Structures are given as structure tokens and as C-alpha cells.
Structure 1
């Protein structure tokens, strides 16, 4: 089973690494990082890099695609680059096409979300709406008939990947992976969503993240 994760400059590291570490533990799975070129792709701070070992031309029939996100200044150009066209080409034959965080905007740019409920990072729901999707405040949104699964902001990519393992294998394997990773969240603050965060924190992050609500 081939699982492809497309890369672009400015990508959020955890959007890649979280699902990767989950899905690489699926028996028989081979996870490939793919890009326009075989090269290093750096995060928004230019201090973390991941390497694409294959190009989009080489990966034409992946079984699963996981599209990571990034900040607006990275995702905007990526939506104008080769990833949307690649997604349109490979999606008809995937078992699942998925996204994490603002990776949903790349699915939107590929035309895969028109008229469908979708989730993304809370700061990007306005852009998602402009792309013809119906944003919903859910951590994971699944469209089995269309083989689409979307995760909300960054950390939810791990949740999505575990749900995906359950679809690809079974619940027991997903629980085994969860246990192996000791994924048992107990954050020190209950401020992980706009509905829970203090108003001052929410307003500050709207500015910092250039939220498009």
C-alpha cells in the first residue's frame, strides 16, 4: 500500500510528521514524501526541512494521499502550484484522499470539496467557504462515498490518521498504533479551539495567524 504525502515550502512539520508516524506503522504500508522536485522542503521558519524522495510525475497511483497544510503565505502559492492538478489526477484511483489543517485548501483548489462539508484550521474557514465547501467545526469530517477524510488544525492530523488506520485495517490495529505512540492527550490548558480559548487569546491569535473567518 503506497501512502503519498505531498510537500511544499512552508509546510507545517506536524501536519507531515504526525500522520507519517501513524501510517508508517500500517502493515505493508510504504509512505513516500513527494514534491515537484526531489529536494528539501522547509517549514515557515526555514529551520526544519523534510525531503521529497519522489516527484509528482513518479507517483501516479497512490492508494492514500495525505495533504498537509501550512500558513497562508505558503498555502496560497501552493494552491497555484502543481499539487491541485496532481490531486485531480490521482484522486479517482485512491482508496482515501485526506488532508490535515489548511491542506484542505489544496483539496479545495483541486475542486474536490465543492458542495461538501469540510473542516480545516479555524483561521482558514473563510477561504474554504470561498472554494465552495461548507465549513463545519468538526475535528474530522469523512465522506466515505467520495473517499475523502479531512482533519481540522495541526494536531488533529494524528486523530485523522488513527481513524484512517481503522478504515484501512481495523479498529484493533488503530488502537495498537495509538498505544505504541502513547497518544493519550492531556494538555495543560483547555484552549485548543476558538470555543474554549479565552477571548483575549483568540483575538491575539486571529491577528497573528491572519485569520480568514
Structure 2
């Protein structure tokens, strides 16, 4: 009997829950997969909403994963300097078939040195961090470079999950999951990217994000300097 696929998603304080729950729903539809929500301790982890997420295993008890997925969220800035998290990701990446991320999860992979020399994508507001940490920018919604698969911002987690399933199984399996989820986006507004959003909406959001973006860039430069 074949061994079940081991798929793990990192959870952490101030995670954007949709970054995680989108691919989680997709992965949970894959027959023969065991899904793990991984954190340092088994205790509720606060997201960036009222939702708290319960890990299912710890770093110490987590099996070797076939797929490791790092979601994004405001908490990823802290993870960039968290030696315990970065060491866990490096250990898992060494034996994983696929190393993946959603949104700003890719900057955590990059901080761990796991995207050096790879193309990768992330949320549009963090894209300039990637080259500081050794990755090459891709603006694809889902970027595949060898066994690194990275997704863009937040809702791209569903696309990331379906892409990974197609790699693990086949396209028909991924399409069947897409159909079961009725994932057939038809957004009410054409404002889902910097290229399509009205200029005044983009300017408003960029102004709100300015301080956080500058702080993240400074942090990334410090992480890169410390690695030299």
C-alpha cells in the first residue's frame, strides 16, 4: 500500500487565514493525503482576523513532508528573523518534493535561503523584497521553478493549491477538485491587481501600506546583510 502524501502548512501569529485555508481546502480534497498544520506549540494561533487556528503538530513532531506550504500575512515579517522557523523550513525543504508558499510566505522562504537562484512571486506590495533575498521576481499568479512553487497574494492560494495537486497527481484530479469547489471567479469589480485597479484606489492603498512596506524592506536588507 502506498504511503500517504504528507502535506504541511505553516501557521503562525498574524497569519492571513485565507492564505492558508484556500490551499488547505484544495489539499484536503486530495485522496491519500495527510494534512498537517504546523507550529512551534500545540496552542491556538491568532490570525489577522478574529479567527484562531489550532495547529495539529509541532516542529519537533512533524513528519518529513512531501509538500511544505508557507502562507503569508503580517506575521511573516517576524518569521524572517525567527531562527527556529527558518531552521525548520530548511530541514523540511531538504526532503520535500515541493516547497511552496502563498503571498508573503515566499519572503520567509527567501529569508531561509530557499529561493536563492529561483524565480518566485508574492503579494504585489512585497515583490521588491524578493531580489534583496536572492530570488528573481516573477509576476505570475503562480510561479513554478523546479520544485519551488510560489503563489501571489492571498486569493492566489487556491490557484497554488490546484497547481500543486496537478503536479502531485494530474490535471484531471485538479480540475475535479476545482469543479467540486465551484472555483469559477467572477469578481464584482476589476480591481484585483495594481494593473487593473482604479488609480485612486491603488494610490489610497499604497499610502496605507507605505510604512509597513518600508519597514519590511529595511528588515529584508538586514537579513541579507546578516547572511553574508
Relative to the length of structure 2, the TM-score reads 0.88
Please say if 1:109 is aligned against 2:111: yes
Give the root-mean-square deviation of aligned CA atoms: 1.3
* Cα offsets for 1:168-187 (capped at 9, x unmatched): 11111101100100000000
Instruction: Give unpaired runs (5+ residues) of structure 1.
Output: none
Give the length in aligned residue pairs.
208
Please say if 1:89 is aligned against 2:86: no
Which of 5, 15, 28 aligns to 2:9? It is 5
Instruction: Give unpaired runs (5+ residues) of structure 2.
Output: 218-228
Please say if 1:70 is aligned against 2:73: yes
Structure-to-structure mapping, 1:127-142, within 5 angstroms: 127-142=129-144
SS class of match (1:138): coil
Separation in structure 2 between the aligned mates of residue 5 and residue 163 of structure 1, nearest angstrom: 16
Structure 1 segments (4+ residues) deviating >2 Å:
207-213
SS class of match (1:209): helix
On the 8 A contact 1:100/1:153 being kept in 2, the answer is yes
On the 8 A contact 1:6/1:83 being kept in 2, the answer is no
Separation in structure 1 between the aligned mates of residue 18 and residue 190 of structure 2, nearest angstrom: 20
Q: Computing the radius of gyration over CA atoms, which structure comes out larger, 1 or 2? A: 2
Separation in structure 1 between the aligned mates of residue 57 and residue 155 of structure 2, nearest angstrom: 26
Relative to the length of structure 1, the TM-score reads 0.94
